[in-house]
Structure 1
Amino acid sequence: MDLRKKLGPLLDDPALGKARSASVIDVATGEPLYGRAAGTPMTPASTVKIATMAAALSALGPDHRIATTVTSTPDARRITLVGGGDATLGRAGLRALADDTARALRDRGVTKVEFRYDTSLYSGRREHPIGPNDNIAPVVALMADQGRLNTSRGGPAPRSGDPAGDAARFFAGLLRERGIRTSAPPEPGKPPKGSETVARTYSRPLSDLVERALTESDNDIAESLARQTAIAAREPASFEGAGRAVGAELKKLGLPVTGARFADGSGLNRQGRVSAALLTALLARAADPARPELRPVLTGLPVAGFNGTLRGRYADAGPAAGLIRAKTGTLTGVNALAGTVVDARGRLLAFAFMAGSTPAPGTAQKALDRLSAALVP
């Protein structure tokens, strides 16, 4: 297959705007099969989640779970709900935590407590640089249902301006239902010295969080896992600290990070920069038998025409549906696609196509679909 002849005209489609880059490699050998400006850093949009997820898996391992904890003073008169950064914590998890907390307090003969909640694990600004937005909640260490103000489980939704406070107030209500009164509405505060854990709930394993973040392009999980990577690297759990930690972790993996900038974990920040070559190298490293901990990066990629952000794509792209797995990236004027496909020779290929200054998202997405579909046998 002459990829230059096959992909070149498709990459020249005006729907892909003024700036384009491409990389296609043989995953098994790392051999570049096609490239155009492959090493040029461009705005990745949500394809940067591939980098965020690989860094988190490398730093923490696929079995890592994020804890949300309740502590109490030795006399059990003051409790603190401590956020650990679990962006998947929901009301069911808080109910289970309230069950355990109330049981522990009743066992001590306590039915009234002073209640605080602790979000100090994270530092820096809470609001994403794009400002209040239906695509992401304020980035805080404690939230329930991603701060959603409706019953949705994914996608854009109105968000609370104070997800930590909302979660704490909901938890206080759960305690009241279980016979534990609070002396006043919950306020922010760290656990006093000498506090001990009385209850704890955990997220699903990191491998599951990674798959969900990639399949649904979940921005809240992505920012959470970027900060978990920062904490593991002893960096501040902020946008800046997370960016440094992700870059450093990818460098440890031997990936080409020169010129890359990880401005956030989700790709909503237009200041982020990633090359097509880095994206394909990331996908190849995730397929490396020597790095099984990275495999969820591949298994979390949406399947063309079937699930996640590719559910409604590839209808006009020939037989590609079901054969391509890829992460999308979409901002106004920015479109990208990076993923894997098996070619006619049975080789697993990794591809990344990036476009900037695109005139319209719909036509750009179809052009990217045609590019990746051209790799299908």
Structure 2
Amino acid sequence: MTGTPDETPTNSFVPGGNRRHRKARVSRIGARRSLVLAMAVPVASATLAGTSAFAADGSTGADSTAQGVTAGRTGTLDADDAQLVKSLNERIADKRLGSDVSGVVLDGDSDATLWDHNGSTALMPASNAKLATATTALTLMGPNHRFTTKVVYGNGTLTLVGGGDRTLTSAGLAEMTKAAVAGLKAAGRTDVKVRVDDSLFAEPSLANGWNQGYYPTEVTPVRSLVVDGAAVEDTSIDAGKVFAKQLTAAGITVDGEVGRATASRSDVPVAQHTSAPLSDIVKQMLKTSDNNIAETLLRMAAVTTGKPATFEGGVELVRQVLSSYGVSLDNFELHDGSGLSRADRIPAATLAQLLDRITEAPALSSILDGLPIAGEAGSSLGPEWGRFDDAHSKCAVGKVHAKTGTLTGAVALSGVTRTEDGEWRIFSFIENNSTAAPAAIKDAMDGLAATVNGCWA
């Protein structure tokens, strides 16, 4: 776990490498991490239950009127904001979005709620849940944290030990293989058994709201060892087989089949590989909406605090971390790290509030860096997915940075955008149960984001 600055500068990070002026606010991310870690220990939690010194301010933007404008703000809207509210009130009624739809728009500088339509309603967030997972992982482990995969030797056996690196490649494994082979040959050995140790995580299980059909296409059973992101039922054994094949190619005889075993404390370290920094992994996870990385990060957050590396252990920490930022957990229900669970429920107001906190914390800047950009090829908002390509939304290409979310019966889009006059807007839109075609729903959702940007007035 690495240290981070204690003070949030007055100018906070925004997409594109620019910085915008925000009111001065003390973030103390390092202190917050210590607080959450302490809260994870039952004995300490009672002592810290009343601590709020490291929470962000209490502005939530959760209170709203049925007309879509925050109570008390109608008379203070300037002409552009008044037009924004009028347009959103009309466009949220688009039949493509159905009747179970919610949205919130915040002023990025004042944190004031400009528009709220059913913002406190709990809906399936789909992959927008990854914003909470990323925030938790970065807060508890730090953006510079790296995951380590090891090879150890004992009693004629090489054991590949998983360390939660979901991004390990066969090339990275080959570096460890080379070191292991050199050690074996120096010791005069030309044969060895191969075992894998993935005991860092609890046995794979299905989250509430998942079904067996998710494996292994949507997500693989969550294990602490994988190579090349293999979409297989047992990623650990698969990694061991890749390792064994590399050993064989280097002239080492592998005795028997690859099996599973827990490394002994007496085993001798032979080689290790460290991942890219967590900040880079978070960006990769968000750009492509990678379910497997999200579930692995949820468990590694639990490992960091000594909690069970399970869905439940990780989700408990998500709640603690979000609370430490002052994010409302009203109507918040989470069962996994990826948002695949159909039992997940997060209000749009909570997601908008979380994004607001993210813009104010330098340690979380990789989340903003990782938000897909409208029209960005290779991301979940790329043209290959038909995003921001119709007459109303294409004006927002390159201007909207947002996390996508898609499940059967759920589409979400939450992010940030800058208007032509330089004003930053934070938004979250979620719809559930629309009967329109998914592509049509996404076009309507992209139109809402273009409306927030102001390019579609």
- Fold agreement, TM-score > 0.5: yes
TM-score (normalised: structure 2): 0.76
Query: What corresponds to 1:52 in structure 2?
Result: 133
Give me the whole-angstrom Cα distance separating, in 2, the residues matched to 1:111 and 1:258: 61
Query: What corresponds to 2:193 in structure 1?
Result: 114
Secondary structure of the 2:282 match is helix
Q: Is the counterpart of residue 41 in structure 1 residue 113 in structure 2?
A: no
Secondary structure of the 1:145 match is coil
Structure 1 residue identity aligned to 2:332: A
Query: What corresponds to 2:294 in structure 1?
Result: 222
Query: What corresponds to 1:152 in structure 2?
Result: none
Q: 1:310 aligns with which of 381, 393, 415?
A: 381
Q: Is the counterpart of residue 361 in structure 1 residue 438 in structure 2?
A: yes
Secondary structure of the 1:375 match is helix
Q: How far apart are residue 116 of structure 1 and its match?
A: 1.4
Query: What corresponds to 1:68 in structure 2?
Result: 149
Query: What corresponds to 1:264 in structure 2?
Result: 336
Query: What corresponds to 1:325 in structure 2?
Result: 401
Give me the whole-angstrom Cα distance separating, in 2, the residues matched to 1:185 and 1:124: 21
Structure 1 residue identity aligned to 2:318: V
Query: Given that residues 425 and 453 in structure 2 are in contact (C-alpha distance below 8 angstroms), is that contact kept between their aligned partners in structure 1?
Result: no
Query: Given that residues 24 and 280 in structure 1 are in contact (C-alpha distance below 8 angstroms), is that contact kept between their aligned partners in structure 2?
Result: yes
Query: Given that residues 243 and 261 in structure 1 are in contact (C-alpha distance below 8 angstroms), is that contact kept between their aligned partners in structure 2?
Result: no
Structure 1 residue identity aligned to 2:229: Q
Give me the whole-angstrom Cα distance separating, in 2, the residues matched to 1:370 and 1:331: 19
Query: Given that residues 283 and 297 in structure 1 are in contact (C-alpha distance below 8 angstroms), is that contact kept between their aligned partners in structure 2?
Result: no
Correspondence list, 1:18-29, <5 A: 18-29=99-110
Correspondence list, 1:104-253, <5 A: 104-126=183-205, 129-131=210-212, 132-147=215-230, 159-253=231-325
Query: Given that residues 68 and 200 in structure 1 are in contact (C-alpha distance below 8 angstroms), is that contact kept between their aligned partners in structure 2?
Result: yes
Could you give the per-residue CA deviations for residues 312-342 of structure 1, whole angstroms, max 9, x where no partner exists? 2111114111110111111111111001001
Q: 1:193 to 1:241 in 2, by over 3 A?
A: same
- Select the structure with the greater relative contact order (CA < 8 A; seq sep ≥ 6): 1
Give me the whole-angstrom Cα distance separating, in 2, the residues matched to 1:32 and 1:327: 20
Query: What corresponds to 1:150 in structure 2?
Result: none
Query: Given that residues 216 and 232 in structure 2 are in contact (C-alpha distance below 8 angstroms), is that contact kept between their aligned partners in structure 1?
Result: no
Secondary structure of the 1:309 match is coil
Q: Which moved more, 1:367-376 or 1:26-35?
A: 26-35
Q: How far apart are residue 29 of structure 1 and its match?
A: 2.3
Structure 1 portions without partners, runs of 5+: 148-158
Secondary structure of the 2:123 match is coil
Identity of aligned residues (%): 36
Query: Given that residues 130 and 268 in structure 1 are in contact (C-alpha distance below 8 angstroms), is that contact kept between their aligned partners in structure 2?
Result: no
Structure 2 residue identity aligned to 1:114: K
Q: Is the counterpart of residue 9 in structure 1 residue 90 in structure 2?
A: yes
Q: How far apart are residue 214 of structure 1 and its match?
A: 0.6
Query: What corresponds to 1:293 in structure 2?
Result: 363
Larger radius of gyration: 2
TM-score (normalised: structure 1): 0.92
Give me the whole-angstrom Cα distance separating, in 1, the residues matched to 2:373 and 2:353: 20
Could you give the per-residue CA deviations for residues 32-52 of structure 1, whole angstroms, max 9, x where no partner exists? 111112122211001111111
Give me the whole-angstrom Cα distance separating, in 1, the residues matched to 2:267 and 2:322: 37
Q: 1:372 to 1:279 in 2, by over 3 A?
A: same
Cα RMSD of the aligned pairs, angstroms, is 1.5
Paired residues, number: 362
